[in-house]
Amino acid sequence: MELPQVQALPEDIRFAIEVVGNVLPFKTNNYVVNELIDWDNVPNDPFFHLTFPQRTMLKDHHFNKMADVIRSGASKDEIKATANEIRFELNPHPAGQMEKNMPTLGCEKMQGMQHKYRETVLFFPSQGQTCHAYCSFCFRWPQFVGIDELKFAMREADLLVEYIKEHPEVTDVLFTGGDPMIMKTKVLASYIEPLLEADLPNLRTIRIGTKALGYWPYKVVTDKDADDTLRLFEKVAESGKHLALMGHYSHPRELQTPIAQEAIRRVRNTGAQIRTQSPILRHINDDSQTWANLWTEQVKQGLIPYYMFVVRDTGARHHFDIPLEEAWDIFRGAYQDVSGVARTVRGPSMSAEPGKVQVLGVSEVKGEKVFVLRFLQGRNPDWVHRPFFAKYNPNAVWLDDLEPAFGEDEFFFQKEFDAMNANGTANGEYVKTDPMALAADE
């Protein structure tokens, strides 16, 4: 670590950074280091936790295993081998991310795509599988550590176009990563322009999931191709499609620097909208005031609060997770504190295998304490917005920890979800598509 700020830290913190940084991907940049992290507040600073490896991100046995290897003076290869052993024990692909949602075109598996919810296809441009800095909680971490078989990436924009043509139910494409805004504008354009040029009447919204506005606002202000990016955004608006940036903002500080505000202003001037989302995380944003400030500041700058997520079960989750009840408390406290224009936000929401499940709250029904839940997105769209109930469990941090309330055997969606898994429809598109029926339509 050559950074003077890091060299000034106590030896044990520096050693922890080295040990954990060999297992989990670590990347920061001078904007994060100089503008976002408050070094007087380290080790408690939220951005220090968000981007720097921390001792407790690894469980003791994993930490000690790597620490011993490093202390023994092992070679780079030995360190890497140990790192990979540990990584495979960290649930690199939670919620069936890899195998469950991969669509097919003809007989070909679409490696760089996921199609889980009817309207929206996720697309992973192969050159956008990295970020300006890495968040230490991120479930995308396997993509950053160079385990090739875990990478899902795809290049061919024409395959994407073809897929959308064959799937008239798709209205949204969501470019994701990593961070697609890490790509040079020329490359980003090579994915987006074919979508505008093709005749795709069903495609209404192009979304770009990005943390660049938080971690590298220069991307749209002073980078060499900043203006080209803005022209590309304008082109989308002119084509009659909606461009939505799904901006990842974890903490109000990311909205407060002059350059971050200038970035927002410039993006909004292109006609693009910025919707915002973040997981709720211990050490980063685990109180209502932070969220109320975050949403209020966003609305003030013209952003639309969209999702509060529950952190997924992967990597260093145990360092960040928050029981569902507490997450709901924090959400509610913040929601009550903001005006209606900021209440576009929904959460806390778990992106679980059957769908996005929102914790509506804790309640009591006929003497039984329960969680009230509902789908915000479902593998079957018909599941959406039906309240359902789970037995109260103060320790639950994820849907898997919950059981149906009222002594029922299973949740209302379970049979159908099991059937999808059994007949393979959860293994590709969200519904069976009959290729003959499609051919007949054309």
Contacts of 315 by beta carbon, 8 Å cutoff, 6+ apart: 24, 57, 90, 91, 92, 136, 137, 138, 139, 141
Alpha carbons within 13 angstroms on the beta-carbon side of residue 294 total 33
| Termini Cα distance of the chain | 59
Query: CA 94, 99, 104, 109 torsion: positive or negative?
Result: positive
Distance from C-alpha of 427 to C-alpha of 433, rounded to nearest angstrom: 12
C-beta closer to ligand PLP: residue 298 or 351: 351
Out of 21, 46, 177, 348, name the contact with ligand SF4 by CB under 6 A.
177
Report the residue number, 179 or 429, with the smaller CB distance to ligand SF4: 179
**Alpha helices, DSSP H only, in 140-252?**
157-166, 185-197, 212-215, 226-238
Nearest distance, CB of residue 143 and ligand SF4, angstroms: 8
Element (H, E) at 266: helix 258-269
- Interface characters, 252-271, with ligand SF4 (x: CB under 6 A): --------------------
Which span (63-71, 115-123, 132-140, 405-413) binds ligand PLP, by CB under 6 A?
115-123
Among 65, 116, 118, 140, contact with ligand SF4 (rule: CB under 6 A): 140
Euclidean distance between CA atoms 373 and 354, whole angstroms: 13
Under rule CB under 6 A, residue 358 binds ligand PLP: no
Does 285 sit near ligand PLP (CB under 6 A)?
no
- 49, 116, 167, 253: which one contacts ligand PLP (CB under 6 A)? 116
Q: Is 178 in the site for ligand SF4 (CB under 6 A)?
A: yes
- Which residues from 193-212 bind ligand SF4, rule CB under 6 A? 211
Under rule CB under 6 A, how many of the chain's residues touch ligand SF4? 10
Residue 120 contacts ligand PLP per CB under 6 A: yes
d(CA 318, CA 134): 18
Collect all residues with Cβ–Cβ distance below 8 Å to 207 and sequence separation of at least 6: 120, 172, 173, 174, 175, 243, 244, 245, 246
Q: C-beta of 175: minimal distance to ligand SF4 in Å?
A: 12
Q: Interface with ligand SF4 by CB under 6 A: which residues?
A: 131, 134-135, 138, 140, 177-179, 211, 248
Q: Interface with ligand PLP by CB under 6 A: which residues?
A: 114, 116-117, 120, 122, 174, 351, 356, 376-377
